[in-house]
Structure 1
């Protein structure tokens, strides 16, 4: 039987997972920025910058917890080819959903300042996903419970 990780180890593991999600998001927004419509290009740039800032903050948090921040991969596999602005918008929403999921795990694992920062990041990702998708989800960050919001 494998021993359950300590709360500190759970928080560090969740922070590393959120850091990995931020690395992937930054990569994805590079693709999105190249394919986004002119009307949404600024939104893509702002999201990219936000992910870089969160990535850097998470790397500092991981170091403060005694860990070595996970490095970015040289490249990431995209779920589909991004050819059009519509593809870019769909990818942006999916990226934000994944980021929200990682921060949801961090909210559950952390406490104090890191938990508050993770909750803020979860909220920001959920708002960006809703903007890209045009509709929000009932439980952002909990994909197993998420269902598109009903519109009337």
Structure 2
């Protein structure tokens, strides 16, 4: 579920490099690997596992990027992500964070109609009004997510349609 929604959000960003898709989708599949250590800080545990594990077939740079995606998929962005890092495109992290936000219950749900557009250091997420009315906690989570991005200099706005 998270993987599919991450891909759909990614695909709406035509200007992204398609080579990044494979690493992003691996992160979407592995973002909860840190649960094997513990819930508290599982994103940090997962990043540690992915960065330090023997992973045949993965280059060191792929492992580091994968670990960075997993670490950045939740909680504070200013501790896990920097706009100064040229290896991490913020739009990729945004796609993963939004997908995990919508599927935070880890249950099948009717996916909302979403569209994401971005330019420079700004993004607009268009979300279906009726869906958000049926999922008020997600609306609150989107507001918090917008604040997280705004704190690091990326203007994320949510447009309800």
Is the radius of gyration larger for structure 1 or structure 2? 1
Q: TM-score range by the shorter chain?
A: under 0.3
- TM normalised by structure 2 equals 0.25
Higher relative contact order (CA 8 A, sep 6+): 1
- TM normalised by structure 1 equals 0.26
